[in-house]
Chain A
Amino acid sequence: MMSARRWVWVLFPFVLLTHFDFWRVADPTLLGGWLPPELGWRVFYIAVVWCWILALCRWAWPGEDRP
């Protein structure tokens, strides 16, 4: 099983790539008739960020919490 530290390093380039996503082209349609792809992409991005933050916290505070 991957350690929290490894998750942080593996996910970090992915997170940056998701932010600097200049390869994507504007797509003014609606996924499922209601979701703009741009919005879906960014919400997915925040979900990835959240996972990254969870891994970062686990790495920064392993085991017992510091007082």
Chain B
Amino acid sequence: MSAGGIVTTLGVYLGALLLIGWLANRGASRTPDEYFLAGRKLGLIVLFMALFGTNATAFVFIGVPGLAYHDGIGVFSANAPIVALCTPLSFVLIGVPARRMAIRLGACTPAELYSRRFASPLLGVLLFLAFTIYTVPYMVSAVVGASLTLESMSGGAIPPWAGGLAVVGVAVVYTSLGGMRATAWTNVFQGVLFLGFLLLAFLLISSDLGGLGQAMRSVLEKDGSLLALEREGSFAFRPWLSWSLVISLTVIAFPHMFVRLMSARDESSIKGVCRLYPIGLLALWLPPVLIGVWGASEFPGLVGKESDQIFLSMIDAHLPSALGVLGMIAVLAAVMSSLDAMILTLSSMLVRDVLDPLRGRPEADVAWARWFCVAISVVVYTLALWRPASIFDIAKVAFSGYVTLTPLLFLGVNWRRMTRQGAIASVVIGNLVLVAGLAGWIPTAGFLPVFWALLAALLAALAVSAVTEPGSIPA
């Protein structure tokens, strides 16, 4: 497709998002509850797509096939089943009691919830800092990935600065206009787009390779190890256990996922989401892994990060060019459906967890949140252009960082005996141990540093709570 055609298709997609955002904003009230949590009225389908769209990032199209190219089907084995098990479980064990408590305490953000639960503004600030430190680099990586993909798929017609500007610019317009409702509605559209494209690409590529059997036999002939799981390296016991903890616990600790559960209309909607999640994850993980594995047989010899282009190479080789453009839109949909949620969540935390406590009263929260959406987007876009190496170093460990917060997230809403000192100790010690492990200051005995950080955060929460006096939980 010509550069003009690509730009037009991109324009139509971005225009559709703006239209959906505008429609979501019409007639909505301007209360913080409405803006930050869609009035706590997200029903099953919108809630599922909002969670699923937020959960899926460009990593599905770029990172997963690239990893499968080198490590084979083991990438599916190490991730999809344990996430299918633990994500719905964490929704039940943490999301449901957190939603109940958030309604009771009138909290709009995860940090606000735990800050009110423990009557500790300090805990709110700590959580805000932790969430921000791990989320901003994650956002920057997403924008960089999207802009490079746009440049690559448009044959250089869309330079990274323009691609990044389009992605961040459109996301911030509909997010700041319509808040949670706009991001949830656009996530439905984006989720259908990227999931539909993944399945379509899977069917068309396997058919073009001569069918599923032929595609698998080609891989078997060239490198049979890609179709099996060798228990060595990252698939040996200790890394396997550590990674299982990271990938299964991190999802509930994403503030942008947590806050969506707080937006559920009722528990029936969360129950429906839990039932759908394993099926959705199967559809999300299986196609990119197999396409990456098939790509290893068709385009052998890619080294390191070169394999991140394998999904796009397979699309180029097996799909008509018009569908290739749809692939570009699908990548953007996956990026933007997470980016908008992160922009909104960070802006809501800035208002509710930083600004309101400083002012001593909530006032014009929605107007402030809109400005913060813009400010956050400007920071993310600037960092995406600048690309400081440290940002990507933090993004690599962001999942581990989120995991250190899960003992607090779980115990804080399920254990009445937990104290504010225990909560603060859990966050501080968990993150200190993580930093020490990543820096190589402490031995990790073959486990990933996050394993020890999680253990430290849990023990700190239990031990410090045991020796300090619990306060009453606010009514």
Pairwise interchain contact A50-B271, C-beta atoms closer than 8 A? no
**In the complex, B361 has a CB within 8 A of chain A:** no
**Residue A13 at the chain B interface, CB threshold 8 Å:** no
**CB interface residues, B 56-90, toward A, < 8 Å:** 73-74, 76-77, 80-82, 84-85, 88-89
Q: What separation, in Å, do the CA atoms of A50 and B81 have in the docked complex?
A: 10
Bound Cα distance from A42 to B278, whole angstroms:
12
A30 x B277 contact (CB < 8 A): no
Whether B227 is near chain A, meaning CB under 8 Å from some CB there, is yes
Q: Does A4 contact B (CB under 8 A)?
A: no
Q: Flag if A36 contacts B227 (CB, 8 Å).
A: yes
Q: Are A30 and B220 in contact (CB under 8 A)?
A: yes
Q: Which of B6-14, B228-236, B421-429 contacts A (4 or more CB under 8 A)?
A: B228-236
How many chain A residues touch the partner (CB < 8 A)? 35
Query: Given A28-B220, A30-B220, A46-B278, A60–B271 Cβ distance below 8 Å?
Result: yes
B422 to chain A, nearest CB (A): 26
Partner of A42, one of B80, B92, B244: B80
**B contacts with A: majority SS:** helix
Question: B216 near A36 (CB under 8 angstroms)?
Answer: yes
Contact B77 A49 (CB under 8 A): no
Give Cα A67–Cα B310 distance, bound, in whole angstroms: 46
- Residue B225 is within 8 A (CB to CB) of chain A in the complex: yes
Residues of B within 8 A of A67 (CB): 266-267
On chain A, the residues within 8 Å of B228 by CB distance are 26-28, 36-38
How many angstroms between the C-alpha atoms of A37 and B220 in the bound complex?
Answer: 12
**Is there contact, CB below 8 Å, between A26 and B271?**
no
The reply on A17 being an interface residue by CB < 8 A is no
Whether a CB of chain A sits under 8 angstroms from the CB of B268 is yes
Residues of B contacting A60 with CB < 8 Å?
92, 96, 271
Docked CA distance A54–B286 (Å): 22
State in angstroms the CA–CA spacing of A36 and B213 once bound together. Answer: 10
Q: Is the CB of A53 within 8 A of B227?
A: no
Docked-complex contact A38 and B229, CB < 8 angstroms: yes
By size class, the interface of chain B is 35 or more
Name the B residues within 8 Å of A19 (CB-CB). 81-82, 85, 244
Residues 28-67 of A at the B interface (beta carbon under 8 Å): 28-30, 33-39, 41-43, 45-46, 49-50, 52-54, 56-57, 60-61, 65-67
Within 8 Å of chain A (Cβ to Cβ): is B212?
yes
Question: Which A residues are CB-close (under 8 A) to B82?
Answer: 19
What's the nearest-Cβ distance from chain A to residue B229, in Å? 5
Determine if A61 and B220 form an interchain contact, defined as CB atoms under 8 angstroms apart. no
Task: Contact check, A50 vs B76: say whether CB atoms are below 8 A apart.
Answer: no
User: Complex formed: what's the CA distance from A23 to B278 in Å?
Assistant: 25
Closest residue of A by beta carbon distance from B232: A26
Complex Cα–Cα for A12 and B76 (A): 21
Which residue of B80, B216, B217, B271 contacts A61 across the interface (Cβ within 8 Å)? B271
A46 to B228 alpha-carbon distance, docked (Å): 18
Cross-chain contact of A28 among B81, B225, B231, B286 (Cβ < 8 A): B225
CB A38 to nearest CB in B, in angstroms, measures 5
Q: A28-B227, A38-B73 are in contact. Are A52 and B85 (CB under 8 A)?
A: yes
Tell me the smallest distance from the CB of A24 to a CB of chain B, in Å.
8
Q: Are A56 and B92 in contact (CB under 8 A)?
A: yes
Give per-residue flags for B275-304: 1 if the beta carbon is below 8 A from chain A beta carbons, else 0: 101110110001000000000000000000
User: Smallest CB–CB gap between B443 and chain A, Å?
Assistant: 23
Asked whether any CB of chain A lies closer than 8 Å to the CB of B237, the reply is yes
Given A34-B213, A56-B92, A65:B268 Cβ within 8 A:
yes
Partner of A39, one of B73, B244, B267: B73
Q: Decide yes or no whether B158 CB sits under 8 A from chain A.
A: no
Collect the chain B residues with CB atoms within 8 Å of residue A65's CB.
266-268, 271
Q: Would you give the shortest CB distance from B72 to chain A, in whole angstroms?
A: 8
For the complex, give the distance between the alpha carbons of A49 and B227 in Å: 22
Residues of A in contact with B (beta carbons under 8 Å apart)? 15, 18-20, 22, 24, 26-30, 33-39, 41-43, 45-46, 49-50, 52-54, 56-57, 60-61, 65-67
B residues near A, CB below 8 A? Answer: 73-74, 76-77, 80-82, 84-85, 88-89, 92, 96, 211-213, 216-217, 220, 224-225, 227-231, 237, 240-241, 244, 266-268, 271, 274-275, 277-279, 281-282, 286
- Can you give 11 A-B contacts (C-beta < 8 A)? A19-B82, A20-B240, A30-B216, A33-B213, A33-B217, A36-B73, A39-B76, A43-B282, A54-B275, A57-B275, A65-B268
Given contacts A22-B237, A57-B92, 5 further A-B contacts (CB under 8 A): A19-B85, A34-B216, A35-B216, A36-B227, A42-B76
